[in-house]
Amino acid sequence: MNTPLKRTPLYDAHVKAGARMVPFGGWEMPVQYAGIVEEHRTVRAAAGLFDVSHMGEFEVDGPEALPALQSLTTNDVSALDIGQVQYAALCYPDGGIVDDLTVYRLGAERYMLTVNAGNIDKDWEWVTTHGAVARWRNVSAETALIAVQGPHAEALVGALADRGVTDIGYYRFVHGVVGGVHTLISRTGYTGEDGFELYVAAADGTRLWTALLDAGRAHGVAPIGLGARDTLRLEMRYALYGNDIDATTNPLEAGLGWIVKPAKGPFIGRDAIEKVRAAGVTRRLVGLEMAERAVARHGYPVVRDGAPIGIVTSGSYGPSVDRYIAMAYVAVEHAAIGTEVGVEIRGQAKPARVVKTPFHPSRTKK
């Protein structure tokens, strides 16, 4: 593949800040600035800024928008108020996952979907093919997205906003001006901390980023790379598309049954998912804690008494829990909390245990 890597509007700011840039899902993104563990701790203790402009945004509007979304996503879009956000999945007819996404209800008949960076082209093709009745607009390239996450996020965004942000509920959003920039202020995130995701015009991205960093620096706010974004979400057991969920996994085994609403009516994948529900899942995405220092990584086998029972999907050292943790699909009969298993690392089964998740308590706004 020789496709040139894409850059977000904040690319220059990252390079100037000394970030290490790496390819990620077709993009050249900052993996770290000061170091993954330090950045992770900054988010839990103060707040961090994440450039997530690589993510995709699609708008859909008109009288056919709701019916199209209802047939595309697993969740019940009709339950959304204007100003509300919903987590959902797009599924294939066989129940495999096309992508996971958030759905924003912007107006009476207007919605925005935020999708994973690496899936933008695939998702665009999918929604415009299977939701062809509605009017779609791919606004990914016009949009910059900055996440502000951590206990100081509310004070930081509040100080720069032309309106109060305290009253914005979890998975709710408002429009406002932040740091002089028109912003969709969304109380969402991917870290388990309170915080916001700020959607702005691509041309305003650097201005908002700089304003947030300048105002936050004295309070310990720092830019955070994709490395810490990954360890933060892992401690919360949030699924990452391509690691923990993909076309070969269904939402039920991934623990995403709560975003599947079969009662809303037909949607792509419903019949297959309901069949799985009726028969019972055969494997489950569980949290593992290693008994010793050992890093379980994507693709490592999970074993019990020498026999394979599953596979690791994500794993790392968790800086806030100070444990070596992982997510893995394991056969249901071995999925109970407390089950002692092994993770095969370089040919050696290292002891691990199925544990309750999240690994680290969530502090998102309730």
Partner 1 sequence: MASVPAELKYTKEHEWAKREGDRVRVGITEYAQEQLGDVVFVELPKVGAKVTAHKAFGVVESVKAVSDLFAPISGEVVETNGELPQKPETVNKDPYGKGWMIVVKPSSAAEWDQLLSAQQYEQFVSEAAH
Nearer to partner 1 (CB atom), residue 5 or residue 272 = 5
Of 31, 106, 202, 332, the one binding partner 1 (CB under 8 A) is 31
Nearer to partner 1 (CB atom), residue 295 or residue 311 = 295
Task: Supply the minimum distance, in Å, between the C-beta of residue 293 and partner 1.
Answer: 5
Task: Supply the minimum distance, in Å, between the C-beta of residue 350 and partner 1.
Answer: 11
Judged by CB under 8 A, does residue 30 bind partner 1?
A: no
**Is residue 22 a contact partner of residue 5, using CB atoms and an 8 Å limit?**
no
What is the radius of gyration, based on Cα positions, of the chain? 20
Start-end of H helices in 52-152: 65-72, 120-130
**Is residue 242 a contact partner of residue 33, using CB atoms and an 8 Å limit?**
no
Of 10, 19, 29, 36, the one binding partner 1 (CB under 8 A) is 36
Of 280, 293, 305, 366, the one binding partner 1 (CB under 8 A) is 293
**Is residue 234 a contact partner of residue 59, using CB atoms and an 8 Å limit?**
no
Q: Total residues at the site for partner 1 (CB under 8 A)?
A: 16
Residue with tokens 């050992």, as numbered in its chain: 294
**Is residue 313 a contact partner of residue 234, using CB atoms and an 8 Å limit?**
no
Residues paired with residue 353 on neighbouring β-strands, in sequence order = 289, 340
Element holding 206 (H helix, E strand): helix 205-216
The CA–CA distances, whole Å, from 59 to 105, 133, 188 equal 10, 14, 18
Nearer to partner 1 (CB atom), residue 37 or residue 349 = 37
Identity of residue 62: G
Of the listed pieces 34-42, 102-110, 117-125, 178-186, which binds partner 1 according to CB under 8 A? Answer: 34-42
Judged by CB under 8 A, does residue 17 bind partner 1?
A: no
Start-end of H helices in 19-100: 36-45, 65-72
Of 215, 295, 311, 349, the one binding partner 1 (CB under 8 A) is 295
Buried b (16+ CB within 10 A) or exposed e, 194-220: bbbbbbbbbebbbbbbebbbebbeeee
Of the listed pieces 27-35, 185-193, 269-277, 327-335, which binds partner 1 according to CB under 8 A? Answer: 27-35
Contacts of partner 1 in 227-246 (CB under 8 A) = 227, 231
Q: What gap in Å lies between CA 346 and CA 304, rounded to an integer?
A: 16
User: Which residues, other chains included, contact 258 with Cβ-Cβ below 8 Å and sequence gap of 6+?
Assistant: none
**Is residue 113 a contact partner of residue 106, using CB atoms and an 8 Å limit?**
no
Task: Supply the minimum distance, in Å, between the C-beta of residue 38 and partner 1.
Answer: 8
Judged by CB under 8 A, does residue 317 bind partner 1?
A: yes
Of 6, 8, 14, 32, the one binding partner 1 (CB under 8 A) is 32
Judged by CB under 8 A, does residue 288 bind partner 1?
A: no
Residues 178-217, one symbol each (x = binds partner 1 by CB under 8 A, - = not), give: ----------------------------------------
Nearer to partner 1 (CB atom), residue 36 or residue 89 = 36
Of 297, 337, 340, 361, the one binding partner 1 (CB under 8 A) is 297
Judged by CB under 8 A, does residue 37 bind partner 1?
A: yes
Q: Which residues here bind partner 1, judged by CB under 8 A?
A: 31-32, 35-38, 227, 231, 293-295, 297, 316-317, 324, 346
